[in-house]
Amino acid sequence: MTKQRKVIITCAVTGAIHVPTMSPHLPITPDEIATQAIDAAVAGASILHLHARNPQNGRPTPDPAVFMQFLPRIKEACNSIINITTGGGLGMTVEERIATAVTTGPEMASLNMGSINFGLFPIVEKLGSFKYKWEKPYLDNTRDFIFRNSFADIEKIVRTLTEEHGTRFELECYDMGHLYNLAYFADCGVIKPPLFIQLIFGIMGGIGPDIDNLLHMHNTARKLFGDEHEWSVLAAGRFQQSFCTHAAMMGGNIRVGLEDSLYIAKGKLARSNADQVRKLRGIVEALSLEVATPDEVRERLQLKGGAGVNF
C-alpha cells in the first residue's frame, strides 16, 4: 500500500465570482487581500491563489499595479507559494488575464484547461438588490457568456510563462474534457510533469457536485497521468467541505477560500479565509493526516522558489 503524502492546502482568497453584496467579509482592497492571505498562510495554506479587485468597488481587475499593492507584502510576511490567476475575471481578454503573471513571474499560476459556459446568473435572483451598480450586469451577462481558453490560448499562456519565467501551473479542470485537453498538451510536451491538477465541481457549466463525478475524474486522471501528477479538489458553495474531506481521505489535496465558498457552516458566513483553512486543516488532522509545508510543496511540484519571482 502506497504511503499517503501530506495534504497540500490551497487557499483562493477572493476570486472573481462572488460580488461584494454577497458577504461583508470578502476581501476587496489590497490591504484586505494581503491581511487575509497572510492569515490563511499562518493557518496552514501552503499555496495562495490570488486575484485582484478594484479597491473602490470590488470589481475584479487584471491591473498589475493593483496586484503589486499586495504581492510584495504577502511574500515578505510568509513563506507560502503565491499563485497568480490567469483566469482573471469575466470578460477580460487573454492579454489582460495574463498581464500580472507576465509582469511578476510567479512560482505558480492558475490555468483553465478549456473553455466553459460560466453561469453565475442564478445569483441575481437570490440577491435582489446590490451594493454596486456593476454587480447585477456582471452576473446577469453570464446567461450568454463563454469563458474562452482555446488550444491556442492555452499554448500561448504556457509557453509565455514557462519559457520566460519558469512558472508552473495549477491546472484547473472543470469537466472531463479538460482532462483530455491536458493530456494532449502533456503528450506533446508543452506542459511537463509533475502536474498539479485541480478538479473543480459545482460551477454551472462544468461537471456537477456529485461524489461519483469526483471518483470518475480522479480515476480518469490516474489513467491519463499515472504517477506524474498531484491532484487537488475544490467544490463550489456548500459542497466545499464535503468534497475536500473526500479528497483528503482518497489521498488528494484540497482547496478552500472565499473564492470558492463564502460559508463556514450551513447559513453561516465565514469571517475570513483563515476560518476555512483552520476548519479544513482540523478535519485533515482529525483523519490522522499531515499538512504539507510550503517548502515540501515546492519540492513535490518542482517550483523555482520565492527568490525567482519579480516582486
Nearest by Cα to 143 from 125, 126, 118, 174: 118
CATH classification at residue 243: 3.20.20.70
| Residue 257 within a domain | yes
Characterise 254 by phi-psi region: left (phi > 0), alpha (psi -120 to 50), beta (else).
beta
pLDDT at 51: 98
User: Which residue range forms the structural domain that includes residue 94?
Assistant: 9-304
Phi, psi of 233 (to 5 degrees): -130, 135
Q: Provide the residue-wise pLDDT of the chain in tens; the chain has 311 residues.
A: 346 799 999 999 999 999 999 999 999 999 999 999 999 999 999 999 999 999 999 999 999 999 999 999 999 999 999 999 999 998 899 999 999 999 999 999 999 999 999 999 999 999 989 999 999 999 999 999 999 999 999 999 999 999 999 999 999 999 999 999 999 999 999 999 999 999 999 999 999 999 999 999 999 999 999 999 999 999 999 999 999 999 999 999 999 999 999 999 999 999 999 999 999 999 999 999 999 999 999 999 999 999 999 99
Nearest by Cα to 195 from 203, 185, 204, 205: 185
Q: Which three cell numbers stand for residue 48?
A: 495562495
pLDDT at 228: 94
Q: Are 27 and 258 in contact (CB under 8 A)?
A: yes
pTM above 0.95, yes or no: yes
Which residues, including other chains, have CB under 8 Å from residue 133's CB and lie 6 or more apart? Answer: none
The separation between CA 45 and the C-alpha centre of its own chain, rounded to angstroms, equals 12
| Residue 188 within a domain | yes
Q: Are 257 and 43 in contact (CB under 8 A)?
A: no
| Residue 3 within a domain | no
pLDDT at 1: 39
Alpha-carbon span 101 to 50, nearest angstrom: 11
| Residue 1 within a domain | no
Half-sphere exposure of 207 (CA within 13 A, CB side): 25
Cis (ω within 30 of 0) for the bond into 194? yes
| Residue 66 within a domain | yes
- Number of domains the chain is built from: 1
| Residue 2 within a domain | no
| Residue 311 within a domain | no
Q: Are 10 and 232 in contact (CB under 8 A)?
A: yes
pLDDT at 3: 62
Alpha-carbon span 199 to 272, nearest angstrom: 23
| Residue 94 within a domain | yes
Q: Are 253 and 289 in contact (CB under 8 A)?
A: no
